[in-house]
Structure 1
Amino acid sequence: MTFHRFTKRIHAAVLVCLALALPAHAQTGRGPATPEEAAHVAQIATASDKDPVATMTSADGRWFQKWSDEVPDYNFNPDKAALWLMNGAAKGEFKRVVIFQHAVSTAAFQLQHHIQDPRKISENFAESLESVTLAGLEGVLRAYENMLPTHPAIRSAELDAALAARDKGTLAQFVAALPPMPRR
């Protein structure tokens, strides 16, 4: 399979996941996120920073994945950092871990800052979207750093470049230069 076809399949998979998740909100009949759930997501994100594989496969990881699909008042959608990660910054099986880490990091940030949908047009639209994207990538980089000593095969030149940008204080510029999300 060519890289182009693989990329198209990833994009299609992301769009299908989004399409499937949207009706789930209507079907669950559940209420908005509670303060207890927000605290739980923050705890999961902190645990995932240290050991994303264990967190992703734990009961908490499964709870987060189900909860993020069903909670009606928040939208947790892929962003350009998630697309960048899926398109090659993360390799092999590590890709699933990185995508989980990105999702839990962005969700924790959105809940903490009461950003229900960073894609909605508002007075601080660009700022909200960029800050959520940056928070997700920062979470991925924390997990990546913690995993490298025991999993050297996950090393990625792209993630190393993002680490270097973070360490120089230029991660926001790095994120701004990532390719944009495809238009729907």
Structure 2
Amino acid sequence: MAFFRSTFQTLKQICIGAVVTCSLIGAGVAHAERGPATAEEGERIVKLAAVSDKDPLATMNSAEGRWFQKWADDVPDYMFGPDKGVFWFHNGVAKGDLMRVLRFHHTVSTAAFQLQKKIKDPMKNEADNEAKTLAGVEGLLRAYESLVAKNAENRVAAIDELIAARNKGGLAELVKKMPPMPSR
């Protein structure tokens, strides 16, 4: 009986390994088939970011928002990773659904900025990374303002402070002073 359990466990592990391997190979093939970003996709994302400024929740939940999220994960020639701006509001500033919506809008804002400026990997240049971070925070603030206008319960004091700094012309300096991303 122990022999059969051992054999069964071994076969089970082999099957699991085969499934995982096939899915990874399939994902790699799909990613390889996905070519670089097109000009049409770039225009689509810039328009999506503008629409999202006005109603980020509806945009995130729309078919276009879902397309964007998949596109951002799949496009091979652009890197849309997190930055210290998104880490700042994820680190206890925003919570729950508000955090999800702001994260989405931060990503679409930085993607639109990077596509317009043709910055494929902002981590390769500190100035590009700072500009991308600032663009993401500015987008986050636009989304936040529209969310608060629709529901005052979305108000967050720390984000209100960023808006006050932006309104006084000090947002770029405040963003530079944000704590760095944690090391991985």
How does the TM-score come out when normalised to structure 1?
0.82
CA 1:25/1:87 → structure 2, altered by over 3 Å: closer, same or farther? farther
Q: Which residue does the alignment assign to 2:65? A: 61
| Number of aligned positions between the proteins | 159
Q: Which residue does the alignment assign to 1:47? A: 51
Q: CA deviation at 1:38?
A: 0.1
Tell me the C-alpha RMSD between the 2 structures. Answer: 1.6
| 3-state secondary structure, aligned to 2:139 | helix
Using the alignment, how far apart are the partners of 2:33 and 2:76 within structure 1? 9
| 3-state secondary structure, aligned to 2:122 | coil
Using the alignment, how far apart are the partners of 1:25 and 1:164 within structure 2? 47
More helix by share: 2
Of 105, 116, 121, the match for 1:117:
121
> Any runs of at least 4 consecutive aligned residues in structure 1 with deviations exceeding 6 A, and if so which?
none
| 3-state secondary structure, aligned to 1:32 | coil
Q: Structure 1, unaligned stretches of length 5 or more?
A: 1-19
Q: CA deviation at 1:92?
A: 2.5
Counterpart check, 1:126 vs 2:126: yes
Using the alignment, how far apart are the partners of 1:119 and 1:46 within structure 2? 25
Identity over aligned pairs, percent: 55
Using the alignment, how far apart are the partners of 1:25 and 1:82 within structure 2? 31
Written as runs of structure 1 = structure 2, the 5 A alignment for 1:69-108 is: 69-108=73-112
| 3-state secondary structure, aligned to 1:149 | helix
Q: Structure 2, unaligned stretches of length 5 or more?
A: 1-23
Counterpart check, 1:183 vs 2:183: yes
Counterpart contact for 1:30–1:72, Cα < 8 Å: yes
